[in-house]
């Protein structure tokens, strides 16, 4: 496939990388629950996953992004259908979980509170499904790119804007209390986080314009790059010790709250981890399972909100009984629970893909509905 047109057909390693990102998302939320509820031994796994899994999605989004529509109305219509509609949809379909929870916990349905909370969705707040924050932030990132892209007409300017937006986003995070408290400038539609995320989006554009993604390297060279990026990630992620926001004393990178930590170690580990997954995605070649997960990454991200809010606690409470509490046993438990969670998502992927594709950011599906790895 030509490096100049990555949009005419799917690129296998993009799907693989999205799949790895989704697996990391599910895994990360399980190990987070273990760390916060049961064991500090899970801390390093928790911090490692969170150091790069969200930047990976922004990098991939930048790599596959088409040139923005020149007409603002066309651009907004397209992004409204592919970002905002799924954002609203995945916040609505999770509501039954809250209704059931209210009945179990309070013996009544707090309908007024649900209606009041719904109003905050106008500000881009993922009030019911926390995972949908990414869609809102990505919308803001793409809106920024719509206005900035006319000025990015060469690689030098691309690198310039990438660095400037990162520094600006980090400074906003560092002085967040001043901006919100003194200047009274609230964070609507995750615009503060989008400024930092845009730098990773541009890094994805840099990979594309450099033809690195489409270039074929010798397998041994790819393995060398994989090992080097993995070593860089593992050796530096825990060096990121701040400054973090006061309400997150565990020194965990949380993109959606604008909590990044050290100005140097945060991007270093985020890029190292992302490149590690990207190189691994290229090494394993076309894979039907990873292709399926990657193609449905948006749906899986939305469905993970159910696990995050209602199911992970139950799964962890049951699974923790069978492990010793060592790092290895925690990793095995998280891997097993991640596999089970993804497997249980397949029926919902099939239903949503067949009957409600437009609400999940997809065009009308044609052809067989069953994933190809099941048909084999």
Confidence tier at 11 by pLDDT (50, 70, 90): confident
The confidence band for 67, taking pLDDT boundaries of 50, 70 and 90, is confident
Q: Residue 370: is its pLDDT beyond 70?
A: no
Quote the pLDDT of residue 364: 53
pLDDT at 347: 96
**CA–CA gap between residue 274 and residue 194 (Å, rounded):** 18
- Answer yes or no: are the C-beta atoms of 248 and 189 closer than 8 Å: no
Residue 5 pLDDT level (bands cut at 50, 70, 90): very low
Task: State the number of CA atoms in the 13 A half-sphere of 94 facing the CB.
Answer: 27
Q: How far apart are CA 184 and CA 147, in angstroms?
A: 25
pLDDT tens digits for range 152-209: 989 999 999 999 999 999 999 887 766 765 555 667 899 999 999 999 999 999 999 9
Q: Can you give the pLDDT at residue 175? A: 79
What pLDDT does 260 receive? 94
- The least confident of 50-54, 301-305, 358-362, 369-373 is 369-373
Residue 219 has pLDDT above 70, yes or no: yes
* pLDDT value of residue 372: 52
148 vs 100: which has the higher pLDDT: 148
Q: At a CB cut-off of 8 Å and minimum separation 6, what does 199 contact?
A: 162, 163, 165, 166, 169, 267
Which pLDDT does position 182 carry in this prediction? 56
User: 375 falls in which pLDDT band (50, 70, 90)?
Assistant: very low
333-347, pLDDT tens digit by residue?
999 999 999 999 999
pLDDT surpasses 80 at 312: yes
Q: What is the pLDDT of residue 273?
A: 98
Residue with more model confidence, 229 or 10: 229
pLDDT digits (tens, 9 = 90+) for 223-280: 999 999 999 999 999 999 877 765 555 789 999 989 999 999 999 999 999 999 999 9
Mean pLDDT of the chain: 89
For 293-362, the DSSP string reads HHHTHHHHHHHHHHIIIIIHHHHHHHHGGGS-SSHHHHHHHHHHHHHHHHHHHHHHHHHHHHH-GGGGT-
Greater pLDDT, 119 or 70: 119
Residues 6+ apart with CB under 8 A from 111: none
DSSP state of 102: H
Contact status, residue 319 vs residue 336, Cβ threshold 8 Å: yes
The residues that bridge with 231 in the sheet, in sequence order, are none
| pLDDT for 310 | 95
**pLDDT above 50: residue 2:** no
Stated pTM of the model: 0.91
């Amino acid at each position: 496939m030509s490096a100049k047109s990555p949009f005419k057909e799917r690129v296998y390693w993009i799907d693989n990388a999205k799949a790895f990102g989704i697996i990391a998302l599910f895994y990360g939320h399980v190990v987070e629950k273990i760390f916060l509820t049961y064991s500090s031994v899970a801390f390093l796994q928790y911090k490692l996953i969170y150091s790069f899994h969200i930047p990976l999605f922004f990098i991939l989004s930048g790599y596959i992004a088409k040139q923005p529509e020149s007409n603002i109305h066309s651009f907004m219509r397209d992004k409204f259908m592919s970002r905002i509609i799924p954002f609203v949809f995945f916040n609505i379909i999770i509501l039954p979980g809250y209704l059931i929870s209210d009945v179990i916990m309070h013996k009544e349905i707090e309908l007024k509170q649900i209606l009041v909370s719904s109003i905050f969705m106008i500000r881009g707040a993922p009030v019911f499904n926390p995972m949908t924050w990414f869609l809102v932030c990505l919308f803001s990132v793409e809106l920024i790119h719509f206005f900035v892209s006319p000025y990015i007409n060469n690689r030098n300017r691309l690198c310039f804007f990438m660095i400037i937006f990162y520094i600006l986003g980090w400074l906003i995070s560092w002085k967040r209390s001043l901006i919100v408290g003194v200047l009274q400038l609230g964070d609507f539609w995750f615009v503060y986080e989008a400024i930092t995320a845009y730098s990773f989006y541009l890094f994805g554009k840099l990979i594309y314009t450099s033809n690195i993604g489409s270039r074929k390297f010798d397998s041994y060279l790819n393995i060398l790059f994989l090992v080097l990026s993995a070593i860089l990630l593992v050796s530096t992620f825990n060096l990121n010790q701040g400054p973090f926001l006061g309400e997150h004393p565990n020194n965990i990178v949380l993109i959606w709250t604008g909590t990044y930590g050290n100005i140097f170690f945060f991007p270093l580990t985020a890029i190292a981890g992302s490149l590690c997954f990207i190189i691994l995605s290229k090494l394993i070649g076309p894979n039907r399972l990873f292709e399926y997960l990657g193609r449905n990454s948006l749906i899986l991200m939305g469905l993970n909100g159910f696990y995050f809010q209602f199911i992970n606690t139950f799964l962890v409470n049951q699974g923790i009984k069978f492990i010793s509490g060592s790092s290895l046993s925690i990793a095995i438990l998280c891997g097993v629970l991640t596999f089970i969670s993804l497997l249980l998502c397949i029926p919902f992927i099939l239903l949503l893909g067949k009957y409600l594709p437009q609400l999940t950011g997809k065009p009308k599906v044609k052809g067989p509905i069953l994933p190809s790895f099941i048909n084999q």
